Amino acid sequence: MSKHLHTTQIISLDGWPFRIRKAATETAQIKLMLLLHGHLGDENSMWILTKPLPTTYALLAPRAPIQTGPDQFSWHEIGPHWPDIITYHRLAVKLLTRVNHWLDNGHMATNRIDVMGFSQGAVMSYALAILHPERIGKVAALAGFIPKAWKDHLHKEALQGKNFYIAHGTRDDVIPLDKACQAAEWLKEKGAQVEFCKADTGHKLSADCFKGLGAFFSTTAD
């Protein structure tokens, strides 16, 4: 087990397991981050990516609701077509309801959530930012994309000035690079601030983009 998991605990929020870690630094600057794993992952999958994050983050890593195999989970069923925004709206409501329950129990006094997601979890991160811009602060979308059918749901008044960190491999054979580039273009068109880290790698995060991830979340701007 990773040493990062020794300082965490598993809790159940309305039937969903979450791995949580409280902020190591107790200051007025404590922030909340959701860690959203990809297809076939679980609540443990994202923790290796938290190494460069500021210690002022409290971290919540939910297990996606659809079990696809032993210790393998997905945010939705995989079919010939990517789910529409309505499917992700239902998922987002269920997820945020559970996060709200955790917050309401006195764990933190905040209404803003930063998000980091990988692959299918990155798509979920985009959905949260699009559907609930008032709740979502910074977004890191790693090896992900925005489904083309969602483009009409991107609104400038919601995304203006919102900060995104997109990391993608040029040799990604799961989600092609051009899909990540398209997402970045759409977000910029709506006034979002986009930092794009491109690297010569496959469907994973490169060392350079890993460093950039820490820098992105270390700055104070929303």
Each residue's pLDDT tens digit, 60-115: 999 999 999 999 999 998 888 889 999 999 999 999 999 999 998 877 888 899 99
For residue 134, report the phi and psi dihedrals to the nearest 5 degrees.
-75, -20
pLDDT in tens, 124-179: 999 999 999 999 999 999 999 999 999 999 999 999 999 999 999 999 999 999 99
CATH-assigned architecture of domain 3-218: 3-Layer(aba) Sandwich (3.40)
207 residue type, one letter: A
Adjacent-strand bridge partners of 113: 32, 136
Adjacent-strand bridge partners of 61: 19
The reported pTM is: 0.94
- Domain range annotation of the chain: 3-218
For residue 133, report the phi and psi dihedrals to the nearest 5 degrees.
-60, -25
143 residue type, one letter: A
Sheet (strand 193-199) strand order: 9-13, 16-21, 57-62, 31-36, 113-118, 136-142, 163-169, 193-199
